[in-house]
Structure 1
Amino acid sequence: MDAMHAHRARLHQWLTAQPFAHRGLHDASHGIPENSLAAFRLAVEKNVGIEMDVMLTLDGDAVVFHDETTERLTGQPGTVARMTARRLENMTLLNSTQHIPTLHAALGEIAGRVPVLIEVKSDPQARRPLCSAVRRTLEGYRGPVAVMSFDPEVPRWFAAHAPAIARGMVMTTHGKSRYGLLLHHSWAQRWAARYAKAQFIAYDLKSLPSRFVQWARRQGLPVLTWTVRGEAAAALAHAHTDNIIFELTDEPETAPPV
């Protein structure tokens, strides 16, 4: 087996070995908000992978946060891109004692114990500085980790500037991409995956079944699907893809195994 095929086999193995908790194993009703150190700690305890979102701060750091603005998750108004990392770290997440973590703090908590998927939430202006911030933070990190994005320029950037970091595309056929790609057709999705130099795909559950997913798996690309909630969704996901990115439901009997 040559080096390229060996690398692809290792990537496929860790991307498909265990399910990934969407934004960590969070439960707001018990004071464990999404994308918090507590959610990541619980995922490690349950031995499931972790998916998280990162955004760029005013001072060029990467923080773990999903929204462009802070109000939904903190109750305080603000725009992440206009705030420093220190200011964001001092903000408390709603109904908890948790604070917004930097990517450095999150990886320090996880410490390579479970696989990590980092979704880069970029826009054209923030793309390069955010990719650079993520790359800097990952220097020396020991543990399975990959970056992914709806923006095909993100994995393409990592292919050029940090090829050792695994990279993937996030895709859906619902709604128009902010990057100008209306990926409702299999041919457009294939083009985007090739352009991005993607090594895996994270695909919207609502877009399954998919001819593109069938094509990607034939190419040897691992395909994960999001966001899986409940038994019926898990069955659909496992019928068409290689792994799931899940959230726990309120009913224990319908939750994906952890």
Structure 2
Amino acid sequence: MPFALLDRWLSPAPDPRKVAWLGAQDYAHRGLHGAGVPENSRAAFARAIQAGHGIELDVQRSSDGQPVVFHDDGLERLTAETGPVARRSAAQLGAIALTGSAETIPTLRQVLAQVAGQVPVLIEIKSERGSRVAALCLAVRRVLEGYMGPHAVMSFDPRVSRWYWRHSPHTVRGLVVSESDARGVSGAIRRHLALWHCRPDFLAYDVRDLPSRFAGAQRRRGVPVATWTVRDAEDDARVEAFADAAIFEGTVGKARTGAPADRE
């Protein structure tokens, strides 16, 4: 009961009009990628747009301060290059081929120009423990200035949502959550402390943790819950019962334009 009162006081639920679009469809995790179509590529985003799905993508900061669309902080897994993304300029990164394709690493500005408001976009801002997040948050905000399509930023790092709450309150902001091995009292306390610190408009929750007492409590008071990474029918059943939208891979994503599922 004290948690519920503190949640309402320290992290008020968003205006429903601000977040209504979040649950209208599911989101292709790093685009609709697959054989010959790499994750976080313009080809993967084109496939998602064609299918009518929202898009979830990741951003890192280049050496010249531009947000680029790439999941890892290093180049090794997804390209033939090595080394940190942060040591290459956006132009240099844009010349690097993604493995198994002719696709290259795009900037966030290029991807938003491609999407052009056709589908919603969830932008996960990547950060390392102990790193400074303000520069990347500011770089993303500058790219988003004037972008009219539905969009949100989110991160595992509570400092990201807090930065947007303080410096860009009109931007929809989310906290990415995985309960992992922290399901006891100490984990619950940490989740509430993160919530109070960053005041998110929505949660992006690990589907493996659903149903969750914490996520259910936030959802009941009007904080939407998206869930990741949804890969099969069992995961999708959890979405229907315990969340508002899926961040999915494969073929389970759908347009959720009917009445929302009953809340917990």
Residue 221 (structure 2) aligned to one of 219, 225, 238: 219
Pairwise CA distance, 1:219: 2.0
1:134 counterpart residue number: 140
Aligned pair in 2 of structure 1 residues 83, 227: CA closer, same or farther (>3 Å)? same
Corresponding residue pairs, total: 242
Instruction: Name the Cα RMSD after superposition.
Output: 2.0
Give the letter for the 2:133 counterpart: R
Tell me, which stretches of 5 or more residues in structure 2 are unaligned? 1-11, 256-264
CA contact (8 A) 1:148 1:155 kept: yes
CA distance, structure 1, for counterparts of residue 247 and residue 154 of structure 2? 13
Correspondences of 1:1-258 after superposition (within 5 Å) = 8-27=15-34, 29=35, 31-123=36-128, 124-174=130-180, 185-248=187-250, 255-257=252-254
Pairwise CA distance, 1:186: 2.6
Structure 1 consecutive aligned stretches of length 4 or more whose deviation exceeds 4 Å: none
Pairwise CA distance, 1:84: 0.9
CA distance, structure 2, for counterparts of residue 67 and residue 213 of structure 1? 27
Tell me, which stretches of 5 or more residues in structure 1 are unaligned? 177-181, 250-254
CA distance, structure 1, for counterparts of residue 51 and residue 15 of structure 2? 27
Q: What TM-score, normalized by structure 1, do the two folds share? A: 0.89
CA distance, structure 2, for counterparts of residue 230 and residue 125 of structure 1? 35
Pairwise CA distance, 1:82: 1.1
* SS of residue matched to 1:95: coil
Aligned pair in 2 of structure 1 residues 43, 75: CA closer, same or farther (>3 Å)? same
CA contact (8 A) 1:173 1:183 kept: no
Pairwise CA distance, 1:38: 0.7
* SS of residue matched to 1:55: strand
Q: Among the aligned pairs, what percent are the same residue?
A: 47
CA distance, structure 2, for counterparts of residue 26 and residue 86 of structure 1? 23
CA distance, structure 1, for counterparts of residue 213 and residue 88 of structure 2? 42
Give the letter for the 1:75 counterpart: A
Aligned pair in 2 of structure 1 residues 143, 183: CA closer, same or farther (>3 Å)? farther
Deviations 1:186-230 (A, max 9, x none): 332122112101010000011111100111112210001000001
Deviations 1:28-51 (A, max 9, x none): x1x211000111111111111000
CA contact (8 A) 1:230 1:256 kept: no
